[in-house]
Every structure is written in C-alpha cells, then in structure tokens.
Amino acid sequence: MWQPKLKVLLMIGALSVPCFSHAGLEEGIKAANEGQFEEALKEFNYLADKGFAPGIYELGQLYENGHGVTRNYRKAADLYQQAVNKSHVDSMFALAVLYEEGKGVKLDKQMAVTLFKQAAEKNLPAAQFNLGVMYSNGTGVKLDYKEALKWYEKAAGNNYSLAQFNIALMYYEGLGVEKNIEKSYIWNSVAEFNGNLNASHSRKLDERKMLPAQITEAKEKANVLYERIQAGLYAGEDRIY
C-alpha cells in the first residue's frame, strides 16, 4: 500500500514587491495561462533582467516546460539557481526536482534533499511532503520513518492531502510508529475530506478491521482533527489525540 514518490509543482504568488514588478509578474502569468507565451516571455525576461526572483522563476518554468521557447532543462536550472540565491522558495522546489531527476543538472539526490529541506523550512507544503517521501524511501538520505513522519505532519498541518494519506499508510503498516488502525482511519478520513480517492478506498479497508463503536469514535476524532487543521491549529501528533 505504500505511496510511491510524488512530486507536485506549485506556483505561488509573489510576496510584497515593487508595483512595476508585481504588475509585470501578474501580466506575464496571465499571458502564460492564456497561451500567449511570446508576451509572457517578454514580461518574464524583463523582470529577470531586473533581478526579480519570481520573474526569474517564471522564466525558468517556460524553459523547463518548453512554452514559447525550446525546452531547455539546463537553462531552467540556471534560472532557478539564480532565484534560489535570492531565497525564492518555489525555485528551491523546482531545482530540487531537477536534481532528483537529473534534468539539466547532474543527478544528485542529496542536493535534491538539501533543496527540498530549504523549501520545507520555509513552509512550502509540497516540499515538506517530498522531503517526507525521500526519508520514507531512503532516497538521498538514510531511511528514517520518524523523520519522514515529522515532515508529513508539517505538510498535513498545511492541509496537504497526500501527506495526510501517507500518515495513514504509516499507521496502517506500522512504519516508524506503532501500528494503529484507528489513526489510519482518522488520517484517511481527513485526506478524503480533501478529495483524496485513494484515502477513501483505504478508509474502507480500515473499517473492515474496526467495530461499529470504534468507527463512530474515529469519525468524531477525524472531524475534530480536520477542523483544527483548517483553523491552522494542528501542531503535531503528540498534541492532537
């Protein structure tokens, strides 16, 4: 039942930036979303020339995906690195994926872990999840289920359903934690609330091993947990049950 390695690329809005940069970024993203890549390229090149990290990142996205330009992973990696040097979190994640897959850079799982961790420490949920997967699989690091669970919990607290589902799997399998079907049910339910169909299937498997009274109690706990996550109050396993 273990979840395979997943990578989800995110696009996060710019933080507080000069008006001309913010406006140009929004115009470029709008143009890219509408398939007007020539216009997007113009905007992002201008912002990149100004050293504006979100613009550099978006330009890297065009090169990575071959939108309006010939796909060029090396160029994308170079651009992401420029933005990473400016502490741009999305670029940390994007560059980590390239290192993990060896696209445009030499395959380097350890560097991928380093970059995922930088982004995870800046509270990027996808990076927190990927870091958990790396520790779960022993990819680029020594296999460590407890460390994996720590990062899954951080992503789960940000309401990232893939992490919530993987926490359920860890309790179901007893990986790094004591096997606990109730907690597997609870986390599967929370992930299911967020539309995770795999979690819905797994929750039904949990039910087969639970008594009706146990299911009722677990449903109540799942509702409480989900409400706490939604309110930004989930602070880790030891402080939720």
Give residue-wise pLDDT tens across range 87-111.
999 999 999 999 999 999 999 999 9
In this predicted structure, which of 5-19, 50-64, 110-124, 166-180 has the lowest mean pLDDT?
Answer: 5-19
Rounded to an integer, the average pLDDT of 170-189 is 98
pTM of the model: 0.88
pLDDT band at 236; cut points 50, 70, 90: confident
Distance CA 50, CA 183 (A): 50
Give residue-wise pLDDT tens across range 157-173.
999 999 999 999 999 99
Distance CA 172, CA 182 (A): 9
pLDDT band at 235; cut points 50, 70, 90: confident
- The sign of the torsion formed by the CA atoms of 61, 64, 69, 72 equals positive
pLDDT band at 238; cut points 50, 70, 90: low
Give residue-wise pLDDT tens across range 44-73.
999 999 999 999 999 999 999 999 999 999
Distance CA 42, CA 114 (A): 32
